[in-house]
Amino acid sequence: MNLLNDDKTIDMAELFKIFGDSTRIKIINVLLDSELCVCDIANKVNVSQSAVSHQLRILKQSKLVKYRKDGNCIYYSLADDHVKKIFMLGCEHINE
């Protein structure tokens, strides 16, 4: 196996740092099966809408979450299947 170069090592560390926040984990968890608006996410994870918006901004910047606009509503979903796989592997690991 090839070792990661310094840039890739930093990128990998940054990716896993994003998963180091329990609110972000809760948000990813509720987005596993469907897209949701901020108010629905906030209700499901029992966190204020402003806190959810802040965490979604971080998740979007990290390319883990995407969004689409429908009129005045913005719906969020996981960016791709890799995010779900990382989450599910984490769940599998902690359940061993």
pLDDT per position as a tens digit, 55-81? 999 999 999 999 999 999 999 999 999
Distance CA 88, CA 33 (A): 12
With contact defined as beta carbons under 8 Å apart, do 17 and 25 qualify?
no
How far CA 35 is from CA of 7, 32, 49, 68, in Å, comes to: 32, 8, 16, 9
Distance CA 49, CA 51 (A): 5
pTM: 0.92
Tens-place pLDDT, residues 1-52: 788 899 999 999 999 999 999 999 999 999 999 999 999 999 999 999 999 9
Distance CA 69, CA 74 (A): 4
How remote is the C-alpha of 47 from its chain's centroid?
A: 15
The domain ranges of the chain are: 6-94
Distance CA 31, CA 55 (A): 13
On whether the 6-94 domain is CATH 1.10.10.10, my answer is yes
